[in-house]
Structure 1
Amino acid sequence: MRCKLCRLGRKQVVFGVGNPTADLMFVGEAPGADEDEQGVPFVGRAGQLLTKIIEAIGLHRDDVYIANVIKCRPPGNRNPEPDEVNTCEPFLFQQIDLVQPKVIVALGKFAAQSLLRTDTPITRLRGQIHPFRGAQLVPTFHPAYLLRSPDKKRETWEDMKLVRSLLRGEAR
């Protein structure tokens, strides 16, 4: 079933990219203009920062799987609406179930709140481990937010050190 986004100016579906057997999966909000153009999630400035974050924990983009809650770009990069989330969520859940990551990083407020079904602020969700579909979910700030608020990079680094230790089996 398709939602209304397929009629609202998006160029293509941006499904996901990466290692189909990855231990680590990143989930963002929705594709932006660059992603809609190229058909790949996180390829713009935020994506370049995400690549640096991945490399900082000793991995490469090819080692992880990257997806979004919503598979099509909302007009004007607005927040996805509840009916759009409801339509796309089964596709994301299927991706998670097929990849079977050990750790999922929810990038930003929207992804974290959507996945955890909460309205708790990202500032309170981050730094914690949440069980999710057989994986350990760690919310952190979205790379686009970090570009606007570089002072939050230290907290994101703490989250990523937690992710690294979870991947190594060192933390619970």
Structure 2
Amino acid sequence: MTAAGPSRRARRNEILKELGLTPLWHVRASGEDSAAQVDSSEHVVSHPAGAAEERRSKILRMGWDELKTSVEGCVACPLCQSRSRTVFGVGDKNADWLCVGEGPGAEEDAKGEPFVGPSGKLLDNMLAAINLRRGRDVYITNIVKCRPPGNRNPSPDEAGQCSPYLERQIQLIKPKLIIALGKVATQNLLHTDAAIASLRGRLHDHSGIPVIVTYHPAYLLRTLVDKAKVWEDLCFARSIMQGLGPSG
């Protein structure tokens, strides 16, 4: 075992202790009875009754630095076991615009930044079409901060464990408008199973913040014909933002 291994575990344990998430989940060794358990700080944290709400409450009191550190050490769901890096978010922390996708892909997992590679370039082009650019008056993040294996959609439990982090990001940014990119982001922000097609072109709400729904850039790379629909959505978003007036 390298020297970095124990150090990383110690850091995770310290973060978990501060969040009130200990004791850690235990894995019973094969062939042993339930009394014989193996402590494994590299595994997922159990959530006894009341612990989930306590964890959420603590996360919702964090500032930016503490929140990012907490995400980096999070072991609240199985996604922590296969990630290379957490993907916290990128952009203007006082942005009027917030873009929310579903989760990191392989390139995002390697670089630690959301929306890189072909889908990231397309998102940057989408933003440029409404006079925005990455890092200026827009913040970009995802529903989950760790890559789901095989780029599958995050499960409801995985999204649920990550939701306090996104909730706190939204509270800190105070965006005037949220753009939900794709089905997973839309379902989690709006708590609906409705199809994107039925939700486009209308204004929705998340915690008092207007939400506009559109297709995910990765979907557009596979379905070029729907790019025109996204342009319509972006024009709609721009008109809504103009109606909201200047920042206070």
TM-score normalised by length of structure 1: 0.95
SS of the residue 1:168 aligns to: helix
Q: Is the 8 A contact 1:109 1:121 kept in 2?
A: yes
> Residues of 1 paired with 2:166 and 2:134: CA distance?
19
Determine the structure 2 residue equivalent to 1:91.
165
Determine the structure 2 residue equivalent to 1:12.
85
> Residues of 1 paired with 2:229 and 2:145: CA distance?
28
Determine the structure 2 residue equivalent to 1:25.
98
SS of the residue 2:201 aligns to: coil
> Residues of 1 paired with 2:160 and 2:195: CA distance?
21
Determine the structure 2 residue equivalent to 1:159.
233
Determine the structure 2 residue equivalent to 1:69.
143
Deviations 1:44-80, CA, capped at 9 Å, x for gaps:
1111000000000011111210000000000001110
Q: Is the 8 A contact 1:102 1:134 kept in 2?
A: no
Letter in 2 for 1:19: D
> Residues of 2 paired with 1:3 and 1:153: CA distance?
34
Q: Is the 8 A contact 1:107 1:143 kept in 2?
A: yes
Letter in 2 for 1:101: P
Q: 1:129 aligns with which of 172, 183, 203?
A: 203
1:115 to partner: Cα distance: 1.0
> Residues of 2 paired with 1:55 and 1:145: CA distance?
19
Q: Is the 8 A contact 2:190 2:205 kept in 1?
A: no
Deviations 1:68-105, CA, capped at 9 Å, x for gaps:
00000000011101110110011001101110101100
Letter in 1 for 2:204: H
Letter in 2 for 1:67: T
Structure 2 stretches lacking a partner, 5+ long? 1-73
Name the % identity: 52
Structure 1 stretches lacking a partner, 5+ long? none
Q: Is the 8 A contact 1:31 1:71 kept in 2?
A: yes
1:108 to partner: Cα distance: 0.4
1:134 to partner: Cα distance: 2.7
Q: 1:44 aligns with which of 117, 120, 126?
A: 117
TM-score normalised by length of structure 2: 0.67
1:141 to partner: Cα distance: 0.4
> Residues of 1 paired with 2:208 and 2:193: CA distance?
22
1:4 to partner: Cα distance: 1.1
1:170 to partner: Cα distance: 6.4
SS of the residue 2:99 aligns to: strand
Q: 1:120 aligns with which of 181, 194, 197?
A: 194
SS of the residue 2:135 aligns to: helix
SS of the residue 1:127 aligns to: coil
Larger Rg: 2
Determine the structure 2 residue equivalent to 1:141.
215
